[in-house]
């Protein structure tokens, strides 16, 4: 007779506000495979739990130390959201051959789709026309407003543009594929991506400097890793063509934001972004409300579908492990080394 499995789901008390739908869908997905116990780590001391009973743990709050792991002989898997870098206990898990399931890919579809939305919003000036219609300044004169692009910046159709995607991970590869499908010429830079990734997305592999020189639209889809810091530095930002569009959707660590802001405030570049160097953005920030900026409050990945996908990735990989199968989203030590290395 197969023994009952037991999974611990932890968070810091904000699960229903930060990750709504995740708990209910995780519990539903695990039904018939394991009992799920929820623990708010802000109210419960990990040391008081009976770790001998748990077969897997979802860490959305708290951490595991060597003492806990020594007291958890049944533990077969740990999972969570760590942007590919693993929890602080990752090395300990590796020494015990306990896989860590990184569900960061749950965000990818939502963030990539939002990136396409930012591109189209900038090219077609959608926020401008929305506000002009809302405040009554749009006079509906088709004769004079038939041509609605802003000639000072890249505009019109995405399919006629050259798009540079920096980072061909879960997010960047989707964006590259969709831009290619629309008809755009896509250049991509990612020194860690396998060759088939470029072929699969329809992107042409490019040196970063050549990409900067050739694109109409620069999409920064690089995670905030040490090696990515200021990858697109002031010199490269200066070399972007006047009127180019810069799209940032995966944090701003790869950008010299001061240099970018300088060119945006000088009306030399258009910036479409969901992420910032300072969050929340101060209300007196001069980028707010500009005609050459489309800004969102870091919500690209925050969708119901992403949270349900998070639950599915964790639950399905736990079930695979319980059944003796290979998990699909186990984080490897090589992947963590790439995410945390200092040199580009």
Per-residue confidence (pLDDT) for residue 3, from 0 to 100: 74
Which uninterrupted H or E stretch holds 43?
A: none
Spell out where 224-292 has E strands. 245-248, 270-273
What is the pLDDT averaged over residues 34-48? 92
Task: Give me 70's structure tokens.
Answer: 């020594």
- pLDDT digits over 281-301, tens only? 999 999 999 999 999 999 999
CATH of 149-295, picked from 3.40.190.10, 1.10.1740.10, 3.40.120.10, 3.40.50.720, is 3.40.50.720
pLDDT surpasses 60 at 344? no
pLDDT-above-70 percentage for the chain: 96
pLDDT-above-90 percentage for the chain: 79
Task: Give me 71's structure tokens.
Answer: 């007291």
Per-residue confidence (pLDDT) for residue 147, from 0 to 100: 66
The pLDDT confidence band at residue 1, using thresholds 50, 70 and 90, is: very low
The number of residues making up the chain comes to 344
Provide the residue ranges of all domains of the chain, joining segments of one domain with +.
6-106+304-340, 149-295
Q: What superfamily would CATH give domain 6-106+304-340?
A: NAD(P)-binding Rossmann-like Domain (3.40.50.720)
Per-residue confidence (pLDDT) for residue 144, from 0 to 100: 59
- pLDDT digits over 125-141, tens only? 999 889 988 998 887 77
More confident residue, 142 or 120: 120
Topology agreement, domain 6-106+304-340 and domain 149-295: yes
DSSP string covering 130-173, please? HHHHHTT-----HHHHS----TTS--S-GGGSEEEEE--SHHHH
Q: What is the pTM of this model?
A: 0.93
- pLDDT digits over 230-285, tens only? 999 999 999 999 999 999 999 899 999 999 999 999 999 999 999 999 999 999 99
Closest CA to 72 of 95, 55, 97, 89: 55
pLDDT surpasses 70 at 179? yes
Contacting residues for 122 by C-beta, under 8 A, at least 6 apart:
153, 154, 245, 247, 270, 272, 294
pLDDT surpasses 90 at 181? yes
What is the pLDDT averaged over residues 166-191? 97
pLDDT surpasses 60 at 201? yes
DSSP letter (8 states) at residue 129 = H
């Amino acid at each position: 007779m197969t023994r009952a499995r037991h999974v611990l789901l932890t968070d810091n008390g904000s699960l229903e506000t930060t990750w709504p739908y995740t708990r209910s869908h995780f519990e539903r997905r695990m039904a018939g495979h394991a009992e799920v116990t929820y623990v708010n780590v802000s109210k419960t001391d990990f040391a008081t739990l009976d770790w001998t009973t748990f077969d897997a743990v979802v860490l959305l709050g708290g951490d595991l130390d060597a003492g806990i792991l020594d007291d958890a002989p049944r533990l077969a898997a740990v999972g969570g959201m760590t942007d590919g870098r693993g929890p602080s206990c990752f090395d300990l898990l590796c020494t015990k051959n306990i896989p860590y399931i990184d569900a960061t890919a749950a965000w990818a579809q939502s963030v990539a789709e939002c990136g396409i939305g930012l591109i189209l919003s900038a090219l077609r000036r959608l926020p401008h026309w929305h506000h002009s219609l809302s405040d009554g300044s749009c006079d509906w004169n088709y004769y004079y407003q038939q041509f609605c692009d802003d000639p000072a910046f890249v505009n019109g159709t995405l399919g006629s543009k050259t798009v540079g995607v920096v980072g061909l991970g879960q997010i960047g590869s989707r964006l590259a594929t969709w831009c290619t499908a629309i008809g755009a010429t896509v250049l991509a830079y990612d020194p860690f991506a396998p060759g088939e990734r470029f072929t699969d997305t329809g992107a042409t592999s490019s040196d970063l400097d050549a990409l900067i020189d050739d694109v109409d639209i620069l999409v920064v889809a690089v995670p905030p890793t040490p090696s990515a810091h200021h990858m697109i530095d002031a010199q490269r930002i200066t070399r972007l063509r006047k009127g180019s569009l810069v799209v940032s959707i995966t944090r701003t660590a790869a950008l010299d934001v001061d240099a970018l802001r300088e060119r945006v405030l000088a009306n030399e570049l258009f910036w479409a972004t969901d992420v910032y160097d300072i969050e929340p953005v101060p209300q007196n920030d001069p980028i707010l409300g500009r005609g050459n900026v489309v800004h969102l409050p870091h919500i690209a990945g925050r969708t119901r579908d992403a949270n349900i996908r998070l639950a599915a990735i964790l639950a399905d990989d736990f079930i695979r492990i319980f059944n003796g199968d290979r998990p699909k989203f186990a984080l490897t030590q090589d992947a963590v080394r790439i995410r945390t290395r200092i040199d580009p």
